[in-house]
Amino acid sequence: MQSSRRRRILVTLLWIAVAFVYLFPYTWMVMTAFRLPIDTLSMRFVFTPTLDGFREILVNANFLRYVGNSILTAVPTTLLVVAIAAPAAYALAHLDRRNRTFLGAVLIVRMVPGIAIVVPLYLVASGLGLLDQRPTLIFVYSAFNLPFAIWLLRGFLREVPVELREAAIIDGCSELQVFTKVVLPLVTGGLVATGVFVFIAAWNEFLFALALTQSRAATAPLAITGFRNEYGTQWGAIGAAALMISTPVVIFAVAMQRYLVRGLTMGAVKG
């Protein structure tokens, strides 16, 4: 008993060391947010915390506007993806389970890298005068996340017994009623998990935002690049902005840990 306890303490100490080294770049980022540039450049570990960095990005109205854009892009994207993916996933999970064409299409589209569609999307959007507008970005983000969401939700919906749908149909429910009143309430966990993953992806997205927006609809991941410019690097501002952009997604991911493995592998590993 005594030796197993010692072993546990030793492993814990080892983990403290591993986590310290591994997370060092992140810790450094967090510290940069609270340090004066002079302390950052002199590599000081002990320093007087300052909120100058935060003051800088809060006073800089543009940065807040971009954070606002990020929220107003990621939230509608999340809602739209779940609203469109859930019925499609239900169809694939219960109504037409061997629809090879759609199953195959969803999988193939999931693998197509963003760069393959960004140039044509740019050309079409610019032709239609839709560049630098939030709805354009929402539309593109929604499609980009759709295959993943359909596949993941299909897995959750497969766990609902088929007998349930049959019983409800015999009782006189329409397919739509079965879906909204009987099936959906049983998979709220899956809907939330899928929604959170879509939100994280939309919040973190960079390539489409870079190509399809300029100053009006630009999102926070683009805005942070502005603190590193020809006048030098605004250390405190970059640190504060980095912390502000990454903290929501870190919290969401940690809260969704239970579903993380399943989400990352499109349900191939249950975790």
Partner 1 sequence: MAAETLPGDLLAARQKRAALLFMLPAMILLVAVYAAPLGYALKASFTGWLLTRPATANIFVGLDNYTELLSSPEMWSAIRVTLIYAVAAVSLGLVFGTLLALMLDADFYARSFFRSIMIIPMVITPSVIGIFWKLLYEEDSGVFNAVLQAVGLWKVAWLNLDMALPAIIIMDVWQTTPFFMLIMLAGLQAIDRNTVEAARVDGATSLQLFRYVMLPHLVPYMLIATSFRTIAAMGDFDKIWLLTSGGPGNRTTTVTIFAYKNGFSAFDIGRTTAIAWILVAIVLTASAPLLVRLFRSAVEER
* 217-246: contacts with partner 1 (CB under 8 A): 220-222, 224-225, 228, 233, 235, 238, 242, 245-246
In angstroms, give the least distance from the CB of 47 to partner 1: 14
Phi-psi region of 217 (alpha: psi -120 to 50; beta: other; left: phi over 0): alpha
CA dist., res. 238 & res. 228, Å (int) = 8
CA dist., res. 9 & res. 2, Å (int) = 11
Tally DSSP H helices, then E strands, for the chain: 15, 2
**Which residue of 57, 131, 140, 198 would you call a contact of partner 1, by CB under 8 A?**
140
**Which residue of 38, 58, 124, 167 would you call a contact of partner 1, by CB under 8 A?**
124
Q: What Å distances lie between residue 159 and 142, 155, 163, 216, CA to CA?
A: 25, 7, 11, 44
Does position 188 bind partner 1 by CB under 8 A? Answer: no
SS3 of residue 255 by DSSP:
helix
Cβ proximity to partner 1: between 189 and 271 the closer is 271
Does position 269 bind partner 1 by CB under 8 A? Answer: yes
Looking at the DSSP bridge assignments, the partners of residue 233 are 228
CA dist., res. 42 & res. 38, Å (int) = 6
The dihedrals phi and psi of 228, each to the nearest 5 degrees, come to -120, 100
Does position 46 bind partner 1 by CB under 8 A? Answer: no
Does position 158 bind partner 1 by CB under 8 A? Answer: yes
**Which residue of 46, 61, 111, 128 would you call a contact of partner 1, by CB under 8 A?**
111
Cβ proximity to partner 1: between 159 and 188 the closer is 159
**Which residue of 34, 66, 144, 259 would you call a contact of partner 1, by CB under 8 A?**
144
Does position 187 bind partner 1 by CB under 8 A? Answer: no
In angstroms, give the least distance from the CB of 127 to partner 1: 11
**Which residue of 38, 51, 167, 207 would you call a contact of partner 1, by CB under 8 A?**
207
**Structural contact between residues 221 and 70, judged by C-beta atoms closer than 8 angstroms:** yes
**Which residue of 59, 62, 166, 216 would you call a contact of partner 1, by CB under 8 A?**
166
Does position 212 bind partner 1 by CB under 8 A? Answer: no
Of residues 80-99, which lie at the interface with partner 1 (CB under 8 A)?
A: 84-85, 87-88, 90-92, 95-99
Does position 250 bind partner 1 by CB under 8 A? Answer: yes
Give the list of residues 6+ apart from residue 211 with CB closer than 8 angstroms, or none.
Answer: 118, 119, 121, 122
Does position 198 bind partner 1 by CB under 8 A? Answer: no
How far is C-alpha 238 from the geometric centre of its chain's CA atoms? 21
Of residues 51-80, which lie at the interface with partner 1 (CB under 8 A)?
A: none
DSSP 83: H
In angstroms, give the least distance from the CB of 59 to partner 1: 20
Contacts with partner 1 by CB under 8 A: the residue count is 105
Binding window for partner 1 (CB under 8 A); candidates: 47-55, 61-69, 163-171, 185-193: 163-171
